[in-house]
Amino acid sequence: MGGAHRPGPFATGLAWAVALYLLLPISIIIPVSLTDQRFLSLPVEALSLRHYGTVVSSPEWLDAIWQSFWIAVASTLLAVVAGTLCAIGCWRISRRSTDLVRALMLLPLIIPSIVYAVGLYRYFAKLDLLDRFLGVTLAHGVTGIPYVVITVSTALAAFDPRLEQAARSMGAGLAQTLRWVILPRIMPGIVSGAIFAFIHSWDELVIVLFIASRDVFTLPRRIWNGINENLDPAMAAVAVLLVIFTVLLLLLDQLLRKRRP
């Protein structure tokens, strides 16, 4: 009908250029990871999976992946429990003081992690938490809380508070109300928050650079060393695997969003 105002050819062309700028440089790592050469380059004669083989058979890479995975799982758990309960409490009480609490929870998003890392280095030295699984998990968990608070608060905004009041007035205790009335309704928001908190920990480098050294050596730390020391094609293979993993997590999130009422 031509009723709605659509972008013109000029705007569309520009938008395509920007989208290519966003996506092409990332996708270049795919052919590079499949190179048959020993150094970082495009494949010359044939495609080869040898660099993936290097990664999969390297104890260093596998160990780093494993450590990152467990730290991410543990810190996600911490962030989800603390963040979800906090978002529910703030939502239900909803006063000026809880607005303040919510603002406090968002601080890790606003304040650069370099500042936090500097303070944490000294702080954890006193608590003997440097280079420990527990230390990194606590740091990642606390900085993961904002993601959960945001997604759960968004889910709660669409929740009818009268359901909660009805449950309470029919004699349900707080635990029962949470378990049977509130949590099932906001589950998609919680899962979204968990996914983002997981990615946050999985990718986090700056804090780890300060508070971990030998015993705790995560995947981002290993990649960081790789970029600074030897740029070999195995790095590209790791990068591709990481991208695939992230895209899968995002697709999962999109799928859950679609099922949301």
Question: Which listed residue (34, 65, 72, 199) binds another protein by CB under 8 A?
Answer: 199
Of 44-52, 56-64, 69-77, 226-234, the segment contacting another protein by CB under 8 A is 226-234
Question: Which listed residue (34, 88, 194, 216) binds another protein by CB under 8 A?
Answer: 88
Tell which positions 123-152 bind another protein, by CB under 8 A.
123-124, 138-139, 141-143, 145, 149-150
170 lines the binding site for another protein (CB under 8 A): no
Of 43-51, 56-64, 69-77, 112-120, the segment contacting another protein by CB under 8 A is 112-120
Question: Which listed residue (64, 87, 167, 212) binds another protein by CB under 8 A?
Answer: 87
- For residues 136 and 154, what is the distance between their CA atoms, to the nearest angstrom? 28
163 lines the binding site for another protein (CB under 8 A): no
153 lines the binding site for another protein (CB under 8 A): yes
Helical axes 233-259 vs 183-203, angle rounded to 10°: 170
220-251 in b/e burial notation, b at 16+ Cβ within 10 A?
Answer: bbbbeebeeeeeebbbbbbbbbbeeeeeeeee
25 lines the binding site for another protein (CB under 8 A): yes
Of 5-13, 45-53, 55-63, 69-77, the segment contacting another protein by CB under 8 A is 5-13
Instruction: Look at residues 131, 120, 114 and name the one whose alpha carbon lies nearest to residue 204.
Output: 114
- For residues 22 and 163, what is the distance between their CA atoms, to the nearest angstrom? 44
- For residues 88 and 177, what is the distance between their CA atoms, to the nearest angstrom? 12
